[in-house]
Amino acid sequence: MEIRDNGVVLHSVTPHQLKEILREMIREEFTNVNEEIQRVIGEDDLVSTGTACRLLGMCSKQLRYLVNEGHFTVFHHMKEKRYIRAELLEFRNKQRISKLYKK
C-alpha cells in the first residue's frame, strides 16, 4: 500500500487485507469522533454552584457540607466551582427514593 496526496494507492492487496485496512481507518475515525463528542458533552455537563443548589433543593452551606463529605467531584474554573450534573441528579434521586422507603 502506498499513500500519495491524501489518497491511497493499492498494490496487490488481498480482499482480507483491504477489509482490515478499512476497519482500521473506520476505527480511528470513530475514536476521534467519540472523543470529540465526549469533550463537548463533558463541557456542558458541568454546572455552577447556584445551579447545583437548585438541582438539589438546598442552600450553598448544605452543598459545601456534602462536598466536604466527598459526595461530589468539584472542578475549579475561573474562580468558580463546577459540579458534574449527573452526580448531582443521581444523589438527588437516591435521596428521594430513600425518603419514600422511610414512610
Residue 80: which residues within 8 A CB-CB, separation 6 or more?
A: 48, 49
Give the residue among 48, 46, 43, 78 at the shortest CA–CA distance from 63. 48
Is there a single domain that holds both residue 37 and residue 52?
no
Is there a single domain that holds both residue 31 and residue 7?
yes
Is there a single domain that holds both residue 7 and residue 38?
yes
pLDDT of residue 6: 59
Is there a single domain that holds both residue 60 and residue 30?
no
CB contact at 8 A, 67 and 91: no
| Per-position b or e across 62-75, b if 16+ CB within 10 A of its CB | ebeeebeeeebeee
Give the residue among 83, 78, 43 at the shortest CA–CA distance from 60. 83
Residues constituting the chain: 103
pLDDT of residue 99: 63
Q: Which domain holds residue 22?
A: 2-42
Is there a single domain that holds both residue 38 and residue 53?
no
Q: Look up residue 34 and give its three cell numbers.
A: 467519540
pLDDT in tens, 8-65: 666 777 888 889 989 999 999 988 887 777 766 665 688 899 999 999 999 999 999 9
CATH number at residue 87: 1.10.1660.10
Is there a single domain that holds both residue 27 and residue 53?
no
DSSP state of 91: H
Query: For the chain, what is the domain count?
Result: 2
